[in-house]
Amino acid sequence: MRRTVYNEDHEAFRETIRDFIAAEVVPVYDEWREAGAAPRDFYKKLGELGVFGIEVPEEYGGAGESSFKFQAVVAEECARAGVSFGGSSVHTALCLPYLLTYGTEEQKRRWLPAFVSGDMMTAIAMTEPGTGSDLAGMKTTAKLSEDGTHYVLNGAKTFITGGVHADRVLVCARTAPPTPEDRRSGISILVVDTTSEGYAVGRKLEKLGLHSSDTAELSFTDVKVPVGDLLGEEGKAFGYLGHNLPQERLYIAVGAYAQSAAAVEFAKAYCRDRTVFGQSVAAFQNTKFVLADCKAEVDAMQAVVDRALEAHDAGELSAADAASAKLFTTERAAVVIDKCLQLHGGYGYMMEYPIARLYADTRVSRIYGGTSEVMRSIIAKSMGL
């Protein structure tokens, strides 16, 4: 079926991204994986290409586009090539909406030009050791100084993608204790300068997959954060997080669909080239049936993703809709990619093959951005259950 979710501008951008990946990423991607991160100067190349500024207004150096579909194109092309752009997806898909929606005019003029160019990389720090998806249980605190000029930040965060290279981190912290009526109250977002005294990057975490993106532990010991770096209103951050989570979950859904589509292509190519018992693996009926099943699954995922993309651009993507899209695509991606790996036989278990990397990379999609169990709870609540 003809896909109608993208227009000519999106497709022209797709060609640019595809050529960029082939020239700048694929030849060195194994080096990135071994290093556990994309090199810092790569992000400046993305800035020069305009990837970081697509949704940033022109007055701050961006292109002023309102469509999230450009970011979806990037996710699809990375999956198609079996690569990733390191922590850049957090920079654009997660952090940018907070800066655009809740930043003051002064903050936008101070931060966004460097955000667009890649001179200032960002990350967001929500998760803490021991709290997981329970953001209301966070222990990191930010107390206002007696003279009211700055906050004093103390605590720790973990699983922070992009945390090693980040120049500014959006840190969620308690500026007031929770109330008996609402344990989610009293949380604020501080945009912390990573060169601040008392700010420390701990272990760079060794992950099952996503080896080209740096993920770290962070700690804060009496870090002074100017009051001018408070994002939005004090104590209102939990509501901000809920407002932006649908886009984060949509991005994960797009990635799950795109990785599944790529897995089918990798398996199809492998089965055509691989000979067993005197004929290509693709000639066996079992191979044809498995790939046909996978193709049908991918078609269904694409329909869900495209509908969600249209709804998001129209401002109509609800939290339950995003949760449903994420749950369906990530759960089905696990099945499709597993089947495609099986068709590779023993070679599917070798990391030199992109199907093995996809298998490892996609596992986290059912965990981050809210686990599948959390998605089910959101959907059930929307059903009145």
CB of 86 closer than 8 Å to CB of 12: no
Tokens for 226, please give them.
């100017």
Tokens for 250, please give them.
């949509």
Bridge partners (DSSP) listed for residue 144:
151
**Other beta carbons less than 10 A from residue 175's beta carbon:** 20
95-132 burial by CB neighbour count: b if 16+ within 10 A, else e?
Answer: bbbbbbebbeeebbebbbbbbbbbebbbbbbbbbeebe
Q: For residues 215 and 97, what is the distance between their CA atoms, to the nearest angstrom? A: 21
CB of 327 closer than 8 Å to CB of 250: no
Phi-psi region of 186 (alpha: psi -120 to 50; beta: other; left: phi over 0): left
Tokens for 126, please give them.
């929500």
Q: For residues 172 and 222, what is the distance between their CA atoms, to the nearest angstrom? A: 15
54-59, Cβ contacts within 8 angstroms, sequence gap of 24 or more = 54/92, 55/92, 55/96, 55/100, 56/96, 56/100, 56/112, 56/115, 56/116, 57/100, 57/112
248 has catalytic annotation:
yes
Residue found by looking up tokens 């697509």 in the block: 54
3-state helix, strand, coil in the chain (%, to 5): 55, 15, 30
Which residue, among 322, 335, 251, 298, has the nearest Cα to 3 in the 3D structure?
A: 298
Q: How far apart are the first and last CA of the chain?
A: 36
CB of 304 closer than 8 Å to CB of 330: no
With a CB cutoff of 8 Å and minimum separation 6, the contacts of 109 are 60
DSSP string covering 304-364: HHHHHHHHHHTT---HHHHHHHHHHHHHHHHHHHHHHHHHTGGGGGSTTSHHHHHHHHHGG
From 55, 76, 128, 248, active-site residue: 248
Catalytic residues: 248
